[in-house]
Amino acid sequence: MTNLNFKILLIIFSISFSCFGQGKGMKITINSKQLDSKYELYKPAKQIRIVYKDTSDAKNKTTDELMTSIISANNQDWVNYNTFGGKEKAAIFSEDEFNKKVKLKEKYYLELLSKLELKVDSINYTIVKFKYFQNNPDKPIMGVTLMIHKNERWYQTFNAEINNLSMMMLVFKEDILGRMIKGAGNNQMENDLIKIIYKDGLNVDFLFKQNLNSEQKKYFINDLNW
């Protein structure tokens, strides 16, 4: 894994769509706390390219705008601007890394796959799953990023309390995860797992205690490029 790839992954742990349960929301339990949530698939995947010139373009009023700001960022101050907590919380990139992205601008872009909206202690969060494309379009990096809504805009952030939700989004295939959250499988394999992990909503604590066999892993889990 390159240094840049590692930092992209470090960040994630710090419009047309198809919606499951649209309008009523769904329950997710994590760390014994039940949260209201809404899960959406981007259908088709939404491409996000480098279009902003500087932070004056990046209002970050929506999660898609923040994703555009993230891929467009070409200096450390911009990364700090996108991050809740600013300089003290932001991932650090070198000038060489920024220069490479500017030089190869057309090869750097994101494809948004899904998002999970939730509220924790009256604060709105969104987790966005994406593919990150750089030099090799055949080997994108799968990633997620956690966002928090503060001061009427969105920021990247990290929250250890809900870290397993980010891991769940990253690991499980998007369409299958939607059915798991809804509690309605398409086949026996899905329904067998849902019977174990669905108790008045998806229980993430139960999910991460499961020891999936090789057949289940092949069915449920993404192929990831790291």
Q: For 156-214, what is the HEC assignment?
A: ECCCHHHHHHHHHHHHECHHHHHHHHHCCCCCHHHHHHHHHHECCCEEHHHHCCCCCCH
Least Cα distance to 13 among 110, 207, 144, 126 occurs for 144
**Is residue 15 pLDDT above 60, yes or no?**
no
Element housing 143 (H / E): strand 141-150
What letter represents residue 75's amino acid? N
Contact 170, 129 (CB under 8 A): yes
Average pLDDT over residues 85-114: 94
Average pLDDT over residues 131-160: 93
Tokens describing residue 61: 């009023």
CA atoms within 13 A on the CB side of 28: 26
Mean pLDDT (the chain, rounded): 89
Q: What pLDDT is recorded for position 147?
A: 98
Least Cα distance to 131 among 140, 118, 122 occurs for 140
Any idea what DSSP says for residue 162? G
In Å, what is the CA distance from 12 to each residue of 181, 195, 215?
Answer: 21, 30, 28
Contact 87, 8 (CB under 8 A): no
The terminus-to-terminus CA distance of the chain in angstroms comes to 6
Least Cα distance to 193 among 214, 216, 170, 174 occurs for 216
**Is residue 205 pLDDT above 50, yes or no?**
yes
> Measured on CA atoms in the order 7, 11, 12, 16, is the torsion positive or negative?
negative
Domain boundaries, the chain: 3-172
d(CA 160, CA 89): 14
pTM of the model: 0.88
How does pLDDT run across 183-202, given as a tens digit for each residue?
A: 999 999 999 999 999 999 99
Q: What angle do CA 207, 66, 108 make, to 5 degrees?
A: 90
How does pLDDT run across 59-91, given as a tens digit for each residue?
A: 999 999 999 999 999 999 999 999 999 999 999
Confidence at 133, pLDDT banded by 50, 70, 90: very high
More confident position, 224 or 205: 205
Contact 161, 16 (CB under 8 A): no
